[in-house]
Amino acid sequence: MSLFSALFPPADVVEELHDALRPLRSAHPRLRWLHPARWHVTVRFFGEAEPAGQLDGLDRVAAPVLRLRGSGTFRQVLWIGVDGALDELGEAARVPADWRPHLTVARGAVLPHVEFTGREWTATEVSLVRSHPAEGYAVLERVRLSTSNA
């Protein structure tokens, strides 16, 4: 079991990306495609840490406007990039200097390149998530990010 904080895209953003990846899923059936319910942008990975206090201070961070765009690969992972003003969130979450926000969509040996630009969305909350390899994700806590309408 491991603990991480994450941004989960809204349903319409997930659906848009899922539809855009449909031809690639057909063309690359040997890849291990992650189920869209598991798609998230990891903010910070905590490993086997205790959950208490991991999201402290994030409620003062402005909700960033984001967009999924482009793709990349590393260590047999195909990911979709995330554009947007994430510096404030990254600083408040104390992310490592090499943090590269992305959304993992597939794993495998030979990975395609994805040309994709999605719609904008506002990340209104950060979730603290416990990952159980056999069972999936359990959201332990949510913190709303500051919006101009709040």
Containing 33, the helix (H) or strand (E) segment is strand 32-33
Of 106 and 134, which is predicted with more confidence?
106
139 C-beta neighbours (distance < 10 Å), count: 12
CA within 13 Å, CB half, 86: 26
Instruction: Compute the distance between CA of residue 131 and CA of residue 109 in angstroms, rounded to an integer.
Output: 24
Lookup: tokens for 50: 């205790």
Quick one: 75 exposed, middle or buried, by C-beta within 10 A (0-12, 13-18, 19+)? exposed
Q: Kindly state the average pLDDT of the residues 62-73.
A: 95
- The set of residues, in sequence order, having a beta carbon less than 8 Å from that of 132 and lying 6+ positions away, is 1, 138
Q: How confident is the model at residue 147 (pLDDT cuts 50, 70, 90)?
A: confident
- The set of residues, in sequence order, having a beta carbon less than 8 Å from that of 3 and lying 6+ positions away, is 45, 46, 47, 48, 49, 50, 51, 54, 128, 129, 130, 131, 140
Instruction: Compute the distance between CA of residue 66 and CA of residue 90 in angstroms, rounded to an integer.
Output: 14
Q: At residue 48, does pLDDT exceed 60? A: yes
Instruction: Compute the distance between CA of residue 150 and CA of residue 79 in angstroms, rounded to an integer.
Output: 33
Q: How confident is the model at residue 110 (pLDDT cuts 50, 70, 90)?
A: confident
